[in-house]
Amino acid sequence: MRYKIFFVFFMGLFLFVQEAKSQVHGAVGMNFLFSDFKLGLQGRIMKDLGERFVISGTFTYYLEKSTSIAFDFDARYRLIRIGAVGFEPLLGINIRRFDEFGDTSMNAGLFMTYETDKLTVYFEPKYILDSKPVFVFSTGFYF
């Protein structure tokens, strides 16, 4: 069942981004949750709001025996670009579900992009700010 949910989500993401390509960007990547040593696959949709602001939604499916998922909704500010590298501070909301455990928390971090002629790579270190802050690192590719 969980593989079906994962497949349907990524197919929907791909079709949505292809339809609205000029307004919305998509990305796929992976996520590492350091406190629990969890590795996850993620899909991301990003919408530009003018020249400086971006909103994004991310779905992460963690690869483990039990069902573990997370949703992130972030707002970013395009602070500076140095050559091919962009820096965007972010604030957002994180919703996690691991087995029977569910949590909603704030998150804060830095979204960085590196652009080449053919593709754009992103790096996102951030903290999930709950009773015990959790460090998360994500990376992937725009399409």
At 53, list the tokens. Answer: 């602001």
Distances (CA, A) of 139 to 8, 38, 42, 102: 22, 14, 9, 24
Residue bearing the bigger pLDDT, 16 or 95: 95
* SS3 assignment, position 3: helix
Containing structural domain, residue 46: 2-142
Confidence bin at 36 (pLDDT 50/70/90): confident
Q: How many domains does the chain have?
A: 1
Q: Is the pLDDT of residue 77 over 50?
A: yes
CATH of the domain at 27: 2.40.160.20
Q: Do residues 107 and 129 touch, judged by C-beta distance below 8 A?
A: yes
Q: Is the pLDDT of residue 20 over 50?
A: no
Mean pLDDT computed over 116-121: 89
Residue bearing the bigger pLDDT, 86 or 63: 86
Residue bearing the bigger pLDDT, 133 or 27: 27
